[in-house]
Amino acid sequence: MKAYRVMELLIFIIFLYDILPSFYFRYCSSSVIKRFHNDNSIYLTFDDGPNPDYTLQILDLLREYNVKATFFIIAEKAEKHKYILDRIVEEGHTLGIHSYSHRSAWLFTPWQTRKDFRDSILALEKLGYKIKYFRPPWGVFNLFTNYYSNKNGLRSVFWTIITRDWDPNATVENTVNSVLSRAKSGDIIVLHDSNHKIDDNKGAPKNTIEALKIILPALKERGFCFQTIEDGMEGSKKVGKDI
């Protein structure tokens, strides 16, 4: 009976610390960016880079189609590939933080949560970049994630469209259909320019690149323009609309 009570208490703590905050910030909180209300704009974002094998190819493709995007980078990778960050910014894209090493917030204590933000921000500052935006790995929060995001001057960003393009078994067709069948004005789309593990390149981004060759011209033909998260924030301020 005592073990049962301990289990009940553990489940209750997990619910309060992990599950409830994730649900609240994903679906209820106005402090998190979930979509924009600017006309005819799409917000393309990439997670888990930078990756020298794939991010550069994606940048080439974005330049070819004159598309701007936002890259939510893993700070540990950024320390190894500053030249990729430099190119991202030089070509008019926006940088965001995707944690230091892509560990889930559900596995962090409050002190580890604080440290992850501190280490991520410090790493990017040493590379010469001050970041405004944060996307949590796996899209999950713990009780302290948004607190430390706000305390560090970051705005948390979710999405409206996400595909399984990170999965090595995902196909180009599935990624294309997942985006084109759902895309509408104001959507924030998540794709991946790397596997989240540091040296684990399983090839999934190759399919993402092939999918982009179809997605980008198709959305442009529909009359959409592509903006960064920073553009979306500036546009929202000008029209006086909430996000």
In this prediction, what percent of the chain has a pLDDT beyond 90?
80
Work out the average pLDDT over 134-161. 97
The mean pLDDT value of the chain amounts to 92
- 180-199: per-residue pLDDT in tens? 999 999 999 999 999 766 54
Is the full-model pTM beyond 0.75?
yes
Of 26 and 197, the one with more pLDDT:
26
> At residue 92, does pLDDT exceed 80?
yes
CATH topology of domain 2-239: TIM Barrel (3.20.20)
Extents of the domains making up the chain: 2-239
Which DSSP string corresponds to the chain?
Answer: -HHHHHHHHHHHHHIIIIIHHHHHHHHT-TTSB-----TTEEEEEEES---TTTHHHHHHHHHHTT---EEEE-HHHHTT-HHHHHHHHHTT-EEEE--SS---GGG--HHHHHHHHHHHHHHHHHTT----EE--GGG---TTHHHHHHHTT-EEB--SEE--TTSTT--HHHHHHHHHTT--TT-EEEEESS-SSTT---SHHHHHHHHHHHHHHHHHHTT-EE--HHHHHHHHHHHT---
- 212-232: per-residue pLDDT in tens? 999 999 999 999 999 999 999
Catalytic positions, written as ranges = 47, 192
